[in-house]
Structure 1
Amino acid sequence: MDEIGRTLDAYEADPDSYVERYRRESVAAEYGDRFFDVLPGDRILDVGCGPGADAAEFAVRGYDVTGFDLTPSFLRAGRERVPNASFARGDMRRLPFGGASFDAVWSCASFLHVPRADAPDTLREFRRVLDDHGVVFLSVKRGDRSGFDADSGRYFERYRVEGLASLIDGAGFDLIDAQSGDGWVQVLARVAPHGSDGQS
């Protein structure tokens, strides 16, 4: 079983506590203004949507949101909370959507569960499902240490701004904004022009 599979098991071992913890926290409500300012359309893919806190914020603002997660308990909670949104289950490393299906990918505290070796291809998957003018938002834990958390059993990849910005650039995006503080790194980027896929 790989890192994501073990992390899924950790979430499902105590789903109610995670659902309750993440139900109240909407990063989009608190920090999303810059993201909303650069959105080129209304189709948002919320990757690693959890129990739907950010999806609910997107729906309230009138966006066409699709929540995507691997954890069944989170998807059940999301569907209950945001009945007018779509939800799908799967692994973000292999998104079950066609090319150019979305105007934005929002990935808050979820990309950090992807092992570093899989990170470039995962970002290219994000790029693949985005329209040519699409944007991506990532929020990950800041730091240099990666591995399984001893208390929760979840896997985390930690990043510095420079390292995450380099990955973003290599996947075919142009950086719009990057911030680091309070133990987190947040980046906002736009699909690079001329159809670049980061594999020049």
Structure 2
Amino acid sequence: MTEPDFLTTTRAFYDTIAADYADRFRDAMDTMPTDRAVLALFADLVRAERPDARTAELGCGPGRVTSHLHGLGLDVRGIDLSPRMVELARAAYPEVPFEVGSLFDLPFRDGELTGAVAWYSIIHTPAERLPEVFAEFARVLAPGGRLLLAFQVGDEPLYLEEPFGHPVSLDFRRLRPERVEELVRGAGLLMTSRTVREPDGEERTPQAYLLARKPAADRRPSVAAPVAPAAPSS
């Protein structure tokens, strides 16, 4: 099957800027308390569901968030479309497994993950293809599994041209939390929380963090059979 143009373009963009991107954002988490708090909450929820839970960051880039989750005690691996990003992640964080993969065809069995994080990784997918991505998220999550999404809030995409002086360009699609919640529910997942913070530092738009959960197996007690009325006494 021929790969969609947007995947080819996205891979080439991140392969080209990978080293500069990794250097620029390596320590970004140190100045982002909301990000750290959201990731800590996610880790707590995943561990509460299953202490030995398997987790993945889907669209991990150079691996800084994946490594942060590992430091929070999760059994986590990183997946990214860009081979160069994966190469840099493996070199920087050898204690964490990383591999090349696509959000449209994740390398996990049905229900294999108790936690999945898409940290600014759904923003390069055209709107009409997002339901496929969310269906894939739902497929790999176990019942009770948690999904964490992060993205920029807005209606107009950001067209980024020649970042770090490289001759590449890419659209960064901003999203409305309400639309992402529709996608979550459309994939059969349950929304559990929404956090939106105002722009900070060089950011241009609000940032959103959504947590969702795959419904657990039906554990409702079975309805007891009706008790026959006692026979009348003679």
**For 2:133, what is the secondary structure of its paired residue?**
helix
Match of 1:22 among 25, 35, 42: 25
**For 1:111, what is the secondary structure of its paired residue?**
coil
Which residue matches 1:87?
A: 98
1:155-166 mapped onto 2 (5 Å cutoff): 155-166=171-182
CA RMSD of aligned residues (A): 2.0
Alpha-carbon spacing, 1:170–1:87, altered in 2? closer, same or farther (3 Å): same
Structure 1 contact 93–118 (Cα < 8 Å) conserved: no
Instruction: Give yes or no for the alignment of 1:125 onto 2:157.
Output: no
Structure 1 gap ranges (5+): 196-200
Superposition deviation, residue 151 in structure 1: 4.9
Which residue matches 1:180?
A: 196
Q: Provide the TM-score with structure 2 as the length reference.
A: 0.76
Match of 1:100 among 104, 108, 111: 111
Match of 1:32 among 30, 33, 39: 39
Cα deviations by residue, 1:95-149 (Å, 9 ceiling, x for unpaired): 1211111111111011111111111110110111111110100111111123743
Equivalent residue pairs, number: 195
Structure 2 contact 43–72 (Cα < 8 Å) conserved: no
Structure 2 contact 144–213 (Cα < 8 Å) conserved: yes
Structure 2 gap ranges (5+): 164-168, 200-205, 219-234
Which residue matches 2:7?
A: 4
Name the larger-Rg structure. 2
Alpha-carbon spacing, 1:64–1:106, altered in 2? closer, same or farther (3 Å): same
Which residue matches 1:141?
A: 152
Alpha-carbon spacing, 1:56–1:20, altered in 2? closer, same or farther (3 Å): same
Which residue matches 2:225?
A: none
Taking only the aligned residue pairs, the percentage that are identical comes to: 27
Superposition deviation, residue 85 in structure 1: 1.7
Q: CA–CA distance in 1 between the matches of 2:158 and 2:131?
A: 18
Instruction: Give yes or no for the alignment of 1:192 onto 2:208.
Output: no
**2:14 partner letter:** Y
**For 2:156, what is the secondary structure of its paired residue?**
coil
Superposition deviation, residue 32 in structure 1: 1.4
Structure 1 contact 3–155 (Cα < 8 Å) conserved: no
